[in-house]
């Protein structure tokens, strides 16, 4: 599988990092950080993006400002995409077809190619405009999957809560995982 992980500038960029590090090594990853995502990661976690994935051979990093990169073409052949976290700004651009960055351009390409796309909006509360944008995208076949907890798996720590959310995203992407206790 070839998977694009786009990271936009909403709170929770560290969850995207953990998601990427949890993906099996046999999956090829294409990762794009928005400028705001890099800023959020530094502010929330004191982490710089330049060295996060240096030891990962299955990851290719792209610059969000490079709208001519391979991800901007349907001929590059990516199977699935997740935007995690998905800021309200990125959500709005996706909903109306604005492709002014590599993240939004790659989204537009995936949409026209009818590929699987997940958006993980990370805002609270959701306003009417955001809800309308999510409905519009859902009607186009985009999966809207915000980081929401399911308490039936009895999480006892922040790590277990994050594993539940990541496991649910991996389930949607059809990536086998044992990250959380499943309902029996």
DSSP code, position 72:
G
- Provide the pLDDT for residue 51: 75
Would you call 153 helix, strand, or coil by DSSP?
helix
Instruction: Please provide residue 2's backbone torsions phi and psi, each rounded to the nearest 5 degrees.
Output: -120, 120
Confidence class of residue 48 from pLDDT cuts 50, 70 and 90? Answer: confident
Confidence class of residue 183 from pLDDT cuts 50, 70 and 90? Answer: confident
Q: What are the tokens at 77?
A: 């052949």
Query: 116 near 143, Cβ under 8 Å?
Result: yes
Q: Is the pTM of this model over 0.85?
A: yes
- Single out the residue of 72, 60, 55, 1 nearest to residue 33, CA to CA: 60
Contacts of 114 (CB under 8 A, 6+ apart): 141
Number of Cβ within 10 Å of residue 140's Cβ equals 12
Strand 80-86: give its sheet, edge to edge. 59-63, 28-33, 2-7, 80-86, 116-121, 143-144
Would you call 59 helix, strand, or coil by DSSP?
strand
- Provide the pLDDT for residue 154: 84
Q: Where are the beta strands (DSSP E) in the chain?
A: 2-7, 28-33, 59-63, 80-86, 116-121, 143-144
- Single out the residue of 180, 155, 184 nearest to residue 22, CA to CA: 180
Q: Is the pLDDT of residue 152 over 90?
A: no
């Amino acid at each position: 599988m070839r998977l694009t992980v786009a990271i936009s500038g909403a709170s929770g960029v560290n969850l995207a990092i953990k998601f990427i590090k949890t993906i099996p090594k046999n999956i090829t990853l294409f990762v794009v950080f928005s400028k705001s995502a890099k800023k959020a990661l530094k502010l929330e976690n004191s982490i710089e993006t330049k060295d996060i994935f240096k030891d990962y051979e299955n990851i290719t990093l792209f610059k969000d400002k490079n709208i001519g990169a391979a991800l901007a073409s349907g001929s590059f052949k990516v199977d699935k995409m997740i935007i995690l976290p998905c800021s309200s700004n990125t959500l709005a651009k996706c909903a109306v077809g604005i492709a002014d960055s590599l993240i939004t351009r790659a989204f537009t390409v995936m949409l026209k190619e009818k590929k699987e796309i997940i958006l993980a909006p990370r805002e609270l509360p959701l306003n009417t405009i955001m809800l309308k944008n999510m409905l519009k995208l859902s009607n186009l076949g985009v999966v809207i999957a915000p980081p929401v907890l399911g308490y039936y798996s009895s999480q006892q720590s922040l790590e277990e809560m994050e594993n539940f959310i990541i496991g649910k995203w991996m389930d949607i992407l059809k990536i086998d995982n044992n990250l959380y206790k499943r309902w029996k």
